[in-house]
Amino acid sequence: MPVYEYYCDPCNGIFEALRNMRQASEPSPCPVCNGESQRIMPTSFSAFTFRDGYPRRIPDKGTYWHLGREVKNPVTGAVRPNEHPEINKPEPAPTLLKGDAEVQREQRREQAKAMVAEETERQAAIQAYERRQASNPKPADV
């Protein structure tokens, strides 16, 4: 049996019902108020009933519809256009392969070694300069 969509005016909501084709155009009882609801054209691309400005479906599970996908929360904060935080999960940081991690560690070790060497060289230069200063006092100091 195909699924058809019906619209309940008092509830201002859409629901789906499995019915055989002969019954399809007959009104279907609303799952909320049991009122007669008329069949409507599929709303997949144009939900026209809203809750808090978002498409709503009945039975109302308290969920919202975002670009045809069911979500628990409406978009409230700033998001990129046509995205929803529940649907477009941020991409996880890429996991490094064992070899890549080893290469990165090696690079960091090399960087640290280079920094230590640079600092040792600088200290040596300062000491050499100080020794030169001590053994050759400027003429003004004499």
Token code pair at residue 134 = 């001590």
Closest by CA position to 12, among listed 49, 64, 60, 67? 49
Minimum gap (Å) between residue 4 Cβ and Zn ion: 16
Q: Which of 11, 14, 57, 64 binds Zn ion (CB under 5 A)?
A: 11
Q: Which of 4, 8, 64, 66 binds Zn ion (CB under 5 A)?
A: 8
**Stretch touching Zn ion by CB under 5 A, among 26-34, 91-99, 106-114, 128-136:** 26-34
Closest by CA position to 47, among listed 80, 85, 14, 81? 14
**Stretch touching Zn ion by CB under 5 A, among 2-10, 70-78, 87-95, 109-117:** 2-10
Determine, following the binding rule CB under 5 A, whether residue 14 of this chain makes contact with Zn ion.
Answer: no
Burial bucket for residue 39 (CB in 10 Å: 0-12, 13-18, 19+):
middle
Count the site residues for Zn ion by CB under 5 A: 6
Q: Which of 24, 29, 33, 74 binds Zn ion (CB under 5 A)?
A: 33
Give the nearer residue to Zn ion in terms of CB position, either 18 or 93.
18
As a whole number of angstroms, the distance between CA 30 and CA 54 comes to 21
Q: In this structure, is the dihedral angle defined by the CA atoms of residues 96, 97, 103 and 109, taken in order, positive or negative?
A: positive
What is the contact surface with Zn ion in residues (CB under 5 A)?
A: 8, 11, 30, 32-33, 35
